[in-house]
Structure 1
Amino acid sequence: MKLIHTADWQLGKPYGRFEPDVRAALTEARFDAIDAIGKAATLYGADHVLVAGDVFDTEGPEDRTIVQAISRMERHSCRWWLLPGNHDFARNGGLWDRVRQRAGGTITVLSEPQPHEIEPGVWLLPAPLTHRHNLDDPTDLFDGMATPGARLRLGVAHGSIRDFGTQGETKNQIAPDRARRSNLDYLALGDWHGTLKVDARTWYSGTPETDRFQRDEPGHILLVDVDEGCEPTVTPIRTGRFQWIRRSWTVNDQAAFDAECDQMLASIDPPATLLELSLAGITSLTDRVAMLGRLENDVSHRVRYLDVRASDLVGRPSEDDLAQLAVEGMLGVAAAKLSARIDAGGPEAAVAKRALERLFVEYSREEKA
């Protein structure tokens, strides 16, 4: 049989660091990913979609978030199996009761660790989380789940096979050989936001819509073709709209910077790109101002979001820079004093550097006006 494995939708994620228009686009993309998943299920003949936890970003999402999620899923003919994760863990009277009240027959909430025979001889073994952090392996219960007449045993869980440190949850540890221990034909995992193969029968699907700068790859789902007695065939399918990229450039003149910009813009889809850019190097003050000007006045308008970190890009006034200011009377005197303080070093040097740069920026603007 074929199925879709996905996880970590985190619907309702607030994206508080962004401006309202960016937040709105990212929020809508996460709902649109549900439609992309449903269409992929139809296209590839997968009757079941396993969502391995963190369907929602919190255990108390707004009603609109729940209704949007359900209405998107119900537009498609596949069956949806939703597992509570650490962000949306199961508790009495909580989120999942609200979902059940609104959901139709094609959506099943796996809030109890009880096996489901989803097709004749095909059993789904869920390991829902009932707390944000569980001390025990939530998949230990798989060993005791009766699956009479099983030809396929499929597990779905949310947690860490290994300690992902700051990039993932350190609780809810799952045995790395759980598929072998519990005689599973496939184990669908959630928590890690990138696609990751643990072994032939154990995979993380990652999030269908990337939500952070930890990786360049857009979001994916997994098409899983599993047959009795065989290793499953697992195929990643792209569903993500936005690409979050992080770049670090060392540049020493405007020409090198422009070349980097041109190459990057040619390799991405700018309106669908969020860019975190770090600049380093030593260049003339004129070139530094021009580089930052291109980012502010050109690149930032092309991409969806731009975060520039330029504290390590040092702009020192060249002789030509100082000569331009020197003819400006008091501006020239101020520039000379600031330059002397920079050369002297000490605690005032950093302030003097910023003041000289600001002086040159304002002078350049006056010249262009």
Structure 2
Amino acid sequence: MRFIHTADWQLGKPFGRFDAATRTALTEARFDAIDAIARAAAEHEAGHVLVAGDVFDTEGPDERTVIQAATRMERYACRWWLLPGNHDFARNGGLWDRVRKRGVANVTVLAQPEPHEIADGIWLLPAPLLHRHTRDDPTESFDRMETPGATLRIGLAHGSIRDFGTQGEAPNLIAPDRAARSKLDYLALGDWHGLLCVDARCWYSGTPETDRFGRDEPGQCLLVDVAPGALPVVTPLRTGRYQWLQRDWTVADAIDFAALCDDLLTACEPAATLLRLSLSGIVPLTDRVAMLARTEDDLSHRLRFLDVRDGDVVTRPTEQDLAALSTEGMIGKVAAMLRTKIEEGGADAHHARRALERLFVETLKAQESAA
């Protein structure tokens, strides 16, 4: 059995922190990811696409979002299996009734925890979420699901195998040994937005279109091959258009900054890159101006989106600034010692100069805070 495992499409996500043009681009990219998944299924002859929850960003998306999702899936020959997640949980008279009313023959909504024989002897065991949060393991029902004549049992669920950085008891927790406990050949999970292998039979596919900074890899889906008595073969396939990069650069001058910019632009597709850039360092005033010009007049126009945080970049003090450091107290003593090291030259002179500049900057910050 060969199928595609995907999750966390979150169609209709608003991206409210971005400008209008970027919001539109990111919104459309999530719809386009459906086409990318379908093309991957066709190319690799996978007849089924399992979507492990959060197809939509909310339980009440607008009509355009529902119609776009249904009509895009309808175009392709593969069979789509949609699981309600915590963002789009199942309830009577809600979102999933609207999806069913579209009457798309190759789309099945898995709103009940009931097994489906999707091919001869191959059973799909879904664990839909009926509420946004539950304290019970949504996959416990797998143990009770009857799958007569099964040669393969494939689980589909949405939740956390472990607490991904949240405080306290996380909702929708799934037993880490669920695949073995419920005798599953593969457990397709959603909720975690990055690719993650829990064990050989249990994977998170991540989102097909990245939606947050800090993950360099673009969105993807998983091509899964399963056979009775064998471990699944799982292959990530790129589906995402955009990369969301986060970089922290410490710079000494405009030349240093320009080199980092050039390396970044060479390594990515600029028009498909969103960048959150944090800068720090002590630079000459003219270099500070040159760096600002590079970001405003070049980078911001090449990249899809640029967010520069440069509050930790300070202008290098002049000789008069350094001479003005207080001669009283510990700061004055340290400043005098560093000036002596600088005047003596030698291997430590460069480091002493940088330390004196940092001392000036920190002293200036302390004075401003006190004022």
TM value normalised by structure 1? 0.87
Q: Is the 8 A contact 1:16 1:23 kept in 2?
A: yes
SS at match of 2:293: helix
Could you tell me which amino acid in structure 2 is paired with residue 96 of structure 1? W
> What CA distance in whole angstroms lies between the structure 1 residues aligned with 2:160 and 2:288?
44
Q: Is the 8 A contact 1:48 1:78 kept in 2?
A: yes
Deviation at 1:38, TM superposition (A): 0.6
For residues 318-329 of structure 1, the aligned pairs below 5 Å read 318=318
Could you tell me which amino acid in structure 2 is paired with residue 86 of structure 1? N
For residues 70-85 of structure 1, the aligned pairs below 5 Å read 70-85=70-85
Deviation at 1:345, TM superposition (A): 3.6
Q: Which residue of 1 aligns with 2:117?
A: 117
SS at match of 1:248: strand
Cα pair distance change 1:255/1:175, threshold 3 Å: same
SS at match of 1:275: strand
Deviation at 1:344, TM superposition (A): 7.2
Task: Structure 2: give runs of 5+ residues left out of the alignment.
Answer: 322-359
Structure 2 residue 259 is the aligned partner of structure 1 residue 259: yes
Q: Which residue of 1 aligns with 2:368?
A: 349
User: What do residues 159-185 of structure 1 show as CA deviations (whole Å, max 9, x unaligned)?
Assistant: 000000249x93100001100000000
Q: Is the 8 A contact 1:342 1:350 kept in 2?
A: no
Q: Which residue of 2 aligns with 1:364?
A: none
SS at match of 1:222: strand
Cα pair distance change 1:22/1:38, threshold 3 Å: same
Higher mean alpha-carbon deviation, 77-86 vs 283-292, is at 283-292
For residues 312-323 of structure 1, the aligned pairs below 5 Å read 312-318=312-318
Could you tell me which amino acid in structure 2 is paired with residue 349 of structure 1? E
Q: Is the 8 A contact 2:74 2:105 kept in 1?
A: no
Could you tell me which amino acid in structure 1 is paired with residue 108 of structure 2? T
Could you tell me which amino acid in structure 1 is paired with residue 368 of structure 2? A
Could you tell me which amino acid in structure 1 is paired with residue 192 of structure 2? W
Structure 2 residue 170 is the aligned partner of structure 1 residue 151: no
Higher mean alpha-carbon deviation, 282-291 vs 297-306, is at 282-291
For residues 295-314 of structure 1, the aligned pairs below 5 Å read 295-314=295-314
Could you tell me which amino acid in structure 2 is paired with residue 23 of structure 1? R
Cα pair distance change 1:95/1:285, threshold 3 Å: same
For residues 177-256 of structure 1, the aligned pairs below 5 Å read 177-256=177-256
Deviation at 1:252, TM superposition (A): 1.1
Runs of 4+ in structure 1 over 3 Å off: 316-321, 341-352
User: What do residues 199-226 of structure 1 show as CA deviations (whole Å, max 9, x unaligned)?
Assistant: 1100000000000003110001000001
> What CA distance in whole angstroms lies between the structure 2 residues aligned with 1:87 and 1:293?
42
Task: Structure 1: give runs of 5+ residues left out of the alignment.
Answer: 322-340, 353-369
Q: Is the 8 A contact 2:314 2:361 kept in 1?
A: no
Deviation at 1:315, TM superposition (A): 1.2
Deviation at 1:349, TM superposition (A): 3.2
Cα pair distance change 1:75/1:20, threshold 3 Å: same
Cα pair distance change 1:160/1:318, threshold 3 Å: same
TM value normalised by structure 2? 0.86
Q: CA RMSD in A?
A: 2.0
Structure 2 residue 164 is the aligned partner of structure 1 residue 164: yes
User: What do residues 310-355 of structure 1 show as CA deviations (whole Å, max 9, x unaligned)?
Assistant: 011111354699xxxxxxxxxxxxxxxxxxx989747663799xxx
| Aligned-residue identity in percent | 68
Q: Which residue of 1 aligns with 2:330?
A: none
Q: Which residue of 2 aligns with 1:285?
A: 285
Cα pair distance change 1:119/1:283, threshold 3 Å: same
